[in-house]
Structure 1
Amino acid sequence: MAEDSIRVILMGTSYEPRPSQAACSIYVELGNGDVFVFDFGAGSIANYNAMGIPPWKLDKIFLSHLHVDHFTDLIYLYGMGPGLGRYTPLSVWGPAAGDETLGISSAMEAMQSMTAWHRESFHAVIPVGEAYSLDIHEIEPAQTSTLVYSRDGVNITAFPALHIMNGAVSYRVDWKGNSFVYSGDTSPSRFMIENAQGIDLLVHEVRSPVLGEMVSEGTLSHEQDKDRTNTVFNTFVHTDASDLGELLERINPAMTVLNHVSVNSNIRVSLVDKIRQAYSGDIRIAEDLMVFDIGPDGVRQRMGVGPERPLWGNFPVPENTAPAKGLDSVLDDWLRNSSLLQSD
């Protein structure tokens, strides 16, 4: 890829993992080799493996919010880190939420706690280096965009997303005059208009027409909560395709990808028809492993093709990395002596 380009690969495009789609995750690689991951939803790690992307490159993770369809495979990436060649700390960015128990720091501390047995057992048999250290960057609530990463010419900003409660953000990446915005989960707000004007590539969530109908009919809520659920869901949760069309007309991105939706042929037609009521620009419907290259000549889209199995090669252990602790530190003699594989 060209040095001044941005490559975006959709590793998960739905809110529900299923055979044809993982939950949301986006891989971003710059022409200088820098790699960033936006969200790490359930099932997406399989697509990273399918594309042959070395796990040790996935060390800068930006979470839009803490709904489980956006971060669950991060637990796998973290826990398996040294087993897959990552010996450096995992850096994670995410919202603070205005309550220390609800923000990214609390969530990552919980991830460390829940993987304690896993981490200790791995350290007994392989070097782990600093793989289980976390470099947490908590994004405080703000009414404007916040520069959260600036290094080697790339800038990543976060701005508020309107998604049920405090503690959701969208992200923008700028590199060599090229730009990309990932909405995360959001309903329409002025923040998207202010931060995505004329963007090269916008990956924006859209509410499934079927899901919207279920909410309106009340089949997703208890009988006494129908009106409340309908009001909240249609106002502060996701973006209806008709509203997205009006939003795109005001933003005018070079290309828009409709994300966070489980798609079939009927849903495709419904989404496009609704958006076309207000917007005639370039729109695509997200599929897992779609690749977008952003460069001086615009945005090009293709489907990714990976090897049949990951071709990562050997995992070189950095010098001065402490060796494995050994089984004596984690396995009681009575349990060890029960092995049928021990020599006399």
Structure 2
Amino acid sequence: MKRKLTILAIGLVVVAALTAVYTAGWLKGQAGQVAALVKEAQAAGGRVTSATGTAPDRYVYYPGTEALKPDEIRLIACGTGMPAARRGQAASCFLIELGNGDKFLFDIGSGAMANIASLMIPMDMLTKVFISHLHTDHWGDLDGLWAGGWTAGRTGPIQVWGPSGAREDMGIKYAIDGFMRTFNWDYMTRAAMISPVPGKIEVHEFDYKGENEIIYQENGVTIRSWPAIHAGDGPVSFSLEWKGMQIVYSGDTTPTKWTLKYARSADVVIHEVMPMPEDMVKFYNQPPQLAIRATCGFHTCPPAFGKLMSLLSPRLAVAFHWFNEEGTRYNQYEGIRSAYDGPLSMATDMMVWNITKDKITERMAVSTDQAWDVPGPGRPSAPDPNFPSQYTQWILKGRYDTTKAESIGTKKFQEQYGIKWPAK
């Protein structure tokens, strides 16, 4: 009996001690957390101290609300999917924002422009695009940035960096020349109605064979390239270096000796990884032979991604270029973890990383589906009066005159801004 009472007494003491710890944590603002975890929890989410006050950050990034520190990088996944169109994931595109104000787009695949626009960054600040190769899922939305930025008030041209090819007709310069020919009607009509200046594209073609070659160096930023192995000669991987930090973007590639040599111990390695071959059969309806050839032959499969990261030892590995969903992510994770146990992000669209030398923080961006473009510091140039109209007199004869209705309906607008419509 005494023994039972002793055990009961000890139990009551333990319960009392745990209750005290629990209460201490609650009093510090994190109900139910032991004292050792309170500081970490508060740092992650903060406390609500007033029923009518401002809530603290909730593990998310609201675009346009956080100024970067002078030595901080923000990385945003604007596209993490595959060539097939999907509403939930755009094709490859990553935005890197630096504390010095510079912004760089690495690839701009199909569908990515909607995610970029949702960040509501002035188009004058999104003029530098680095294209890893010329599959449409890596540059298919360049037209959206080009034309959309033009109509949204961009004041100058966009600049595109990309690799040469094994032949002249396989490089970025040939591709952009063809792009401008394809969109000639678009260019000529906007140039006449708005201004020709923002419709220009400045092309910087570099040798795809360059090993760790410097292709951009301005404002303390160095961007290098090295060859990637994917479908044929021409693709490249990129490395951005700034303030002693390195971000690597693989583009599409198998694991390469160049990546092993030049990306070792990088702060962040963003590397493509395809779904496991069985998931390509199950969800993508591919024949088994094609599934394993695609995932392991001209892309990187999850076990190979894991092996590569185990050798590179980055501060963070980011896996992209796969459909991240309930049916695939666990198999994908197991495939990677079969060879790698280091820091890992399984990327999806609108994932955000803040990077300093001391810390990497992963969050999701919360952005609007109905974003409007926002103006930058510059004013768009006026239409060039010398640029020829793209109308002929024949087509203009078909216009029905609604100027009287327009004049009456926009009277307040005209008075507010001191303008007269129709213009003389």
> Does the TM-score normalized on the shorter chain lie above 0.5?
yes
- C-alpha offsets along residues 205-246 of structure 1, whole Å, 9 cap, x if unaligned? 11112576539xx9646xxxx86x567535541111011111
Which structure shows the bigger proportion of residues in strand conformation? 1
Structure 2 length as normaliser, TM-score? Answer: 0.74
CA 1:327 to 1:59, structure 2 compared with 1: closer, same or farther past 3 Å?
Answer: closer
**Structure 1 residue 54 displacement after superposition:** 1.8
* CA shift for structure 1 position 306: 2.5
More helix by share: 2
CA deviations 1:16-48 (Å, max 9, x no partner) are 331211111111111000011000011111011
Identical aligned pairs, as a percentage? Answer: 32
User: How far did residue 323 of structure 1 move?
Assistant: 2.3
1:288 to 346, 349, 370: 349
Equivalent pairs counted in the alignment come to 335
Match status 1:258 vs 2:315: no
Alignment match of 1:56 (pick from 100, 105, 124): 124
Map of 1:317 onto structure 2:
379
Structure 2 residue identity aligned to 1:157 = R
Asked whether the equivalents of residues 27 and 35 of structure 1 are also in contact (C-alpha less than 8 Å), the reply is yes
The runs of 5 or more residues in structure 1 that have no matched partner are none
2:234 partner SS: coil
| C-alpha distance in structure 1 between counterparts of 2:386 and 2:363, whole Å | 47
Query: Contact 1:62–1:94 (CA<8 Å) still a contact in 2?
Result: yes
Q: Which of 281, 295, 301 is equivalent to 1:214? A: 281
How many angstroms does 1:281 deviate by? 0.6
Q: Does 1:338 align with 2:393?
A: no
Is 1:95 paired with 2:163?
yes
| 1:36 equivalenced with 2:36 (yes/no) | no
User: Partners of 1:198 and 1:126 in 2: how far apart?
Assistant: 48
Over alpha carbons, which structure has the higher Rg? 2
Any idea what SS the aligned residue of 2:362 has? strand
> 1:98·1:140 contact (CA, 8 Å) conserved in 2?
no
Distance 2:176 2:152 in 1: 20
Name the CA distance, whole Å, in 1 between partners of 2:292 and 2:210. 24
The Cα offsets for residues 250-306 of structure 1, whole Å up to 9 and x where unpaired, read as 000111111011111231111111111121111111111111111021211111123
Residue equivalent to 2:222: 155
Q: Structure 1 length normalisation: TM-score?
A: 0.90
Q: Which residue of 2 aligns with 1:82?
A: 150
Aligned equivalents of 2:357 and 2:183: distance in 1? Answer: 44
Relative distance call for 1:141 and 1:51 in structure 2 (3 A) is closer
- Give 5+ residue unaligned stretches, structure 2: 1-67, 405-424
SS at 1:274's partner residue?
helix
Cα pair distance change 1:210/1:53, threshold 3 Å: farther
Give the CA RMSD over aligned residues.
Answer: 2.5
Contact 2:280 2:286 (C-alpha < 8 Å) held by counterparts: no
After superposition, the Cα gap between the structure-2 partners of 1:310 and 1:161, relative to the gap in structure 1 and judged at 3 Å, is same
d(CA) in 2 for partners of 1:315 and 1:111?
29
Greater relative contact order (Cα < 8 A, sep 6+): 1
